[in-house]
Structure 1
């Protein structure tokens, strides 16, 4: 009997569907404006930061206005507000491919909430609503270690140890950063140490460390959420530069630059949050 109960529980568990979690945020605007207020931008950046630890399925951005003004004007203004929020997402390394809707909905009727103060009601309707849907958790699969070994054969360390010439580029594909930050993912820290040790053995090469970002518009750099400066690609390269120097690499052998989003790799955006090196000189 006990064995039968276990079988039933397992069957029910396999049929269970995890609900798709939604995270919501509202951003409010001044009358006739679509420029984001500093206080509202700070609230929005805190919300974006909270998305770093989840896997996003889709993002919807809906702009609204109050009931003052002509319908055509309100529709245009609501779209401008939605577009302004989308631009903030792009500056903070949120992939445009995740944004499924950016729509201006025009004016909102005043009686959508229980509030007698008309002025306050209109203020609540001058807004953008953001809805982020999280991907449901994936079932865990067994890891094929043989495949991993095959994929790692031509990694950065092997390339560093090999025959290098001026102009060679080595992409640190396993050196990944947290969205919007110069912070390496936990699994990348050991990778960086191994790369530094390999470079210590190659005293004959001089190189440039190039930092990149993902998802921004028009080849712009992303905002470093820690410093609030729009220089994230350079800041990532400097983190690697400083680490190499701390490990004992001569600063005369290396320099660092930020290349913004000028050279996207395509595919998963996380691979564009990367650092690579280009060989400048090989001492014969």
Structure 2
């Protein structure tokens, strides 16, 4: 049976209409149940602890049921599930006033042609989706640091792309970052004299632990993997590999701003 609670979805989704960052988490329930056991409750609390509470703008909670049962009963059950999660969030420190939506959606219908893994499909529909809308990060201004490639640079200039920020513990480039890197690649193809080092960074590790573990590779080389990911992307965009090097710096160069900014990659000019 599908686990009673599983953190199946934890990713960044970007709304192109509002450019607002969202964090989405799904809580799964047993058939015909809406209470949380101890394991479920702890998992819900741990999820909230991964979020920077100072950046939470609003929370939306949507409850669902599988396709069995009557509509009226399922609407009630899905509302009960949504309210159970609301109460757990409030217990975890989320303020009631920022929870703007609590809605039971009732049944999730299944297409007639879905016959394979039907029990698993239904178990995934017995859930609550928590959508956390995040406030945008404030813009930072640091002397000697640019946010785009310029026509003229000097050795040592740093280019920080505000949208090339990684999920905690990850080194995969997301959609929003690719948009920023695409513009950088266009500029680098134009200004072919620029050589540079791609520098990867991490946040939130203890001082004695200079590097972090990459959740995808399970190896303690997260900052290097982030720099390598950008290197490979620019290589794919036809940037000459002889112009580029990459290196991970772990937590050695924090910006002293919000922790999210340290989950970054910088471009540092090495030759003009």
TM-score normalised by L of structure 2? 0.50
Task: Flag the structure with larger Rg.
Answer: 1
Which structure shows the higher strand fraction?
2
TM-score normalised by L of structure 1? 0.48
Which structure shows the higher helix fraction?
1
